[in-house]
Amino acid sequence: MIPSILEWFRDPMTWSGPGGVPTRLLEHLWYTVVTVVIAAAIAVPLGLWVGHTGRARWLVSVANSLRAVPTLGLLFAVSLVVGPYIPGDLAFTAPSIAVLVLLAIPPILAGTYAGIDAVDPSARDAAKGVGMRGRQVLWQVELPNALPLLLSGVKSAMLQVVATATIAAYLGLGGLGRYLIDGLAVSDIGEAAGGALLVGLLAIVLEGVLSLLQRRVVSPGLTGRTARGSQDGDDAPQAEAPADAPVDVRG
Amino acid sequence: MIRFDGVTKQFPDGTTAVDDLSLTAPTGKITVLVGPSGCGKTTSLRMVNRMIEPTRGGISLDGQDTGRMDAAELRRGIGYVIQHAGLFPHRTVLDNIGTVPRLLGWDKKKVKDRSRELLEVVGLDPKLGNRYPTQLSGGQQQRVGVARALAADPPVMLMDEPFSAVDPIVRDQLQDEFLRLQDELGKTIVFVTHDIDEAIKLGDQVAVLRVGGTLAQVAEPQYLLAHPADDFVADFVGKDRGYRALQFEHAPRLTLHSEPSVVVGETPSSRASWLLVVDDDRTPLGWVEPARVGDRPVASEDLHRGGTVARASGSLRGALDAALSSPARRGVLVDNDGVLVGTVRAHEVLTAIEETERPERDEDDPVHGGAMDVSGERG
Ligand SMILES: Nc1ncnc2c1ncn2[C@@H]1O[C@H](COP(=O)(O)OP(=O)(O)O)[C@@H](O)[C@H]1O
Ligand SMILES: [Mg+2]
């Protein structure tokens, strides 16, 4: 199997033209990013609202149960039912993207909600206590504290979409999934496995990019990833020592 | 001035946390709410800045009904020190301190400058400014909490057990600094604690609450120690209240004896059984037994450090403790710079105590009378 993969990778045809790796990779990346951005635009505000107000928590459970719907079936069902009403190329891409978005929403919604829900109640209380209004509490305290879990949700949505977009190639979405379908169709193990390998690589790279983003936007105060000025972070005895130690004066 | 006017808080589950509380916290003074756990201290405090809304009655701030004010605006004008500090974990120390000024729309530079200034006011190293709360000790977090409450210079401060999460030595130090700060700032403060010693040390006025949220007694600390209104207050104030009341009696009338001393590093020439050792500035370091030291210079290891040192301008309690704890039976007194002024013996302090007057019981004290009524009603 490995020789045939290498052979596929060495073939110049693999790298050129509309069916070449660069084009397919960009297609795949494009669908993934568009899907995750749309899903986040829906799920993040919804999760923030549910978490902040504590209302409609059932939304999160419903979204989670959506994960059990078989993606492939939904994909075909949607494109069969809706496809005919949509003109041109969009007939294939729009339903596929819609299904992928549906797939990406639950992890982001759950992550956002869990992030807000996990905010230290004393921080939220302090926010109100110093005179923040509802929105200020949300933007200045709840959201920054929810970011680690929120971004974890985005990350897992992203990985899921990268993997599932492969299947969407069945419907003409293009992307790296084409290599799997075409390869399997003509029993070219090298092409199929090579395509799968590329999907995996893309997933790893995207995961890395998101982790970098996470490091940039999440406060060091939350991750424990803080640059310590000195060694006395947890306990600073010199700062706490009584100023006038030798004199024990009462009253 | 903060005025509680017949304030009652009943939670939806039926718990009455505060019951018909009437109380005035005078401008520029520290009013301490003290009582056992669950007696409604926090609830009372949080009704002032409307973190909790009263069920009945009202609270006014300088004559204005807080119930009619915009809650967020009211809170920005009141410094609130939250139990266990309640810092924002995602913000640096400086950003935590600058929270209220930023809400009030100060410009960035002014917020930064003010935050740095406050770091110093509460006695924190400027280099801690860029740390995050998890990188601070409990005592440091409490100081940041106080700095955050002070940031916009509010005339009123609410403080909920601000020193309870730290060990006794740090607590004592924080209390002293707090009193020194209040001397400068003169804020109107409502301070909550379950610790009667803290209440008596810090309060200009102490309100004792009992479980069920009723006011048992409100008085100056000396008065509370001398005349507890009922068994509950007497019990709560504690058995050694007679001794503790001495901290309000000043010592200057004591006649001091001059005390022979030796500077550390020199050889004692005296044959006394105990000799006081001082440093080059005549600050007392401890006692030695010349018989044990012999003919060599006094070293730091020779010192008996059991005796406490009291300020001559301090209280009779300090002077008595110095006498009782001294191995030589002579209590060491110093001036405000810590320089030795003389010694005093326990019986001399006791004589001074016998000559002091105790606070007169005030039969017309309305709150005092009210508390008696309440305890009668409720058994
Ligand atoms: N949100 C709440 N709901 C129901 N009961 C409460 C609530 N907050 C406080 N209580 C009850 O009210 C009483 C007073 O509480 P609190 O003011 O926190 O007491 P303290 O600060 O003196 O310890 C307690 O019995 C407590 O259990
Ligand atoms: Mg409390």
**Using CA positions, which residue lies closest to atom 25 of ligand 1?**
B38
Note whether B314 contacts A251, CB cutoff 8 Å. yes
* B86: chain A residues, CB-CB within 8 Å: 122-123, 125-126, 129
Q: Would you state the pLDDT for residue B69?
A: 95
The angle formed by the CA atoms of residues B332, B336 and B337, to the nearest 5 degrees, is 95
Cβ(B15) – ligand 1 distance below 6 Å: yes
- Tens of pLDDT along B142-171? 999 999 999 999 999 999 999 887 888 888
Q: State in Å: Cα B211 to ligand 2 middle.
A: 12
Q: Report the gap between the CA of B132 and the closest CA in chain A (Å).
A: 5
Query: Is the per-residue pLDDT at A87 higher than 70?
Result: yes
Sign of CA dihedral B238, B241, B244, B245: positive
Reference B332, options A249, A131, A147; nearest CA is A249
Query: Which ligand 1 atom is the nearest neighbour of the CA of B18?
Result: 14
Query: Is the per-residue pLDDT at A79 higher than 60?
Result: yes
A7-21, B175-189, B282-296: lowest mean pLDDT where? A7-21
**CA dist B69 → B18, B66, B101 (Å):** 22, 5, 20
Q: Would you state the pLDDT for residue A64?
A: 81
Average pLDDT over residues B128-135: 95
Amino acid, res. B181: L
- Tens of pLDDT along B314-333? 888 889 999 999 999 999 99
Q: Would you state the pLDDT for residue A228?
A: 47
Q: Would you state the pLDDT for residue A230?
A: 40
Check: CB of residue A182 under 8 Å from CB of residue A188: yes
Task: Give me the percent of chain B exceeding a pLDDT of 70.
Answer: 95
Q: Is A245 on the interface with B (CB under 8 A)?
A: no
Provide the whole-model pTM. Answer: 0.79
Residue A25 is given by DSSP the state H
Query: Is the per-residue pLDDT at B312 higher than 60?
Result: yes
Cβ(B38) – ligand 1 distance below 6 Å: yes
Residues 6+ apart with CB under 8 A from A24: A174, A175, A176, A178, A179, A198
Q: Is A238 on the interface with B (CB under 8 A)?
A: no
Residues 6+ apart with CB under 8 A from B289: B273, B274, B275, B304
Note whether B140 contacts A249, CB cutoff 8 Å. no
Write phi, then psi, for B286 (nearest 5 degrees).
Answer: 160, -175
Q: Would you state the pLDDT for residue B252?
A: 66
Residue B95 and residue B114: Cα distance in Å, rounded?
A: 11
Domains of chain A plus CATH, in order, are 2-12+40-218 (1.10.3720.10)
Q: Would you state the pLDDT for residue B364?
A: 61
Task: Give me the percent of chain B exceeding a pLDDT of 90.
Answer: 68
**Using CA positions, which residue lies closest to atom 8 of ligand 1?**
B43
Query: Is the per-residue pLDDT at A246 higher than 50?
Result: no
Reference A34, options A207, A181, A165, A195; nearest CA is A165
Own/partner long-range contacts of A186-190 (Cβ < 8 Å, ≥24 apart)? A188/A4, A188/A8, A189/A1, A189/A4, A189/A5, A190/A1, A190/A4, A190/A5, A190/A6, A190/A7, A190/A8
Sign of CA dihedral B135, B141, B146, B148: positive
The helix (H) or strand (E) run that includes residue B45 is: helix B41-48
DSSP string over A42-66: HHHHHHHHHHHH---THHHHHHHHH
Strand B205-210 to B30-34 pairing: parallel
- pLDDT category of residue A248 using cuts at 50, 70 and 90: very low
- Tens of pLDDT along A200-233? 999 999 999 999 999 999 999 998 765 444 434 3
* A251: chain B residues, CB-CB within 8 Å: 247-248, 310-311, 314-318
B172 vs B118, residue with greater confidence: B118
Cβ(B41) – ligand 1 distance below 6 Å: yes
Query: Is the per-residue pLDDT at A88 higher than 50?
Result: yes
Amino acid, res. B186: G
Residues 6+ apart with CB under 8 A from A40: A104, A108, A154, A157
Q: State in Å: Cα A248 to ligand 2 middle.
A: 31
Cβ(B17) – ligand 1 distance below 6 Å: yes
A19 vs B258, residue with greater confidence: B258
Note whether B338 contacts A247, CB cutoff 8 Å. yes
Reference B50, options B70, B64, B33; nearest CA is B70
Note whether A229 contacts B315, CB cutoff 8 Å. no
Cβ(B107) – ligand 1 distance below 6 Å: no
Location of structure tokens 């297609």: A27
* A240: chain B residues, CB-CB within 8 Å: 137, 139-140, 169-170, 173
Domains of chain B plus CATH, in order, are 2-239 (3.40.50.300), 261-357 (3.10.580.10)
Query: Is the per-residue pLDDT at B294 higher than 80?
Result: yes
Q: Is A87 on the interface with B (CB under 8 A)?
A: no
| Average per-residue pLDDT for chain B | 90
Query: Is the per-residue pLDDT at B116 higher than 50?
Result: yes
- Tens of pLDDT along B217-251? 999 999 999 899 999 999 998 878 888 888 887 77
Note whether A229 contacts B130, CB cutoff 8 Å. yes
Residues 6+ apart with CB under 8 A from B146: B81, B122, B159, B162, B178
Query: Is the per-residue pLDDT at B24 higher than 60?
Result: yes
Query: Is the per-residue pLDDT at A165 higher than 70?
Result: yes
Q: Is A146 on the interface with B (CB under 8 A)?
A: no
Residue B226 and residue B231: Cα distance in Å, rounded?
A: 13
Task: Give me the percent of chain A exceeding a pLDDT of 70.
Answer: 88
Query: Is the per-residue pLDDT at A167 higher than 90?
Result: no
Check: CB of residue A133 under 8 Å from CB of residue A171: no
Query: Is the per-residue pLDDT at A249 higher than 50?
Result: no
Q: State in Å: Cα B13 to ligand 1 middle.
A: 11
Q: Is A246 on the interface with B (CB under 8 A)?
A: yes
Q: State in Å: Cα A3 to ligand 1 middle.
A: 72
Note whether A122 contacts B131, CB cutoff 8 Å. no
The helix (H) or strand (E) run that includes residue B37 is: none
B273 vs B80, residue with greater confidence: B80
Average pLDDT over residues B27-46: 96
* A219: chain B residues, CB-CB within 8 Å: 89-91, 132
- Tokens representing residue A243 in the block: 């100023």
* Residue of chain A with shortest Cα separation from B100: A130
Q: Would you state the pLDDT for residue B365?
A: 59
Cβ(B53) – ligand 1 distance below 6 Å: no
* Residue of chain B with shortest Cα separation from A241: B170
Q: Would you state the pLDDT for residue B313?
A: 84
Query: Is the per-residue pLDDT at B88 higher than 90?
Result: yes
- Tokens representing residue A81 in the block: 């039912």
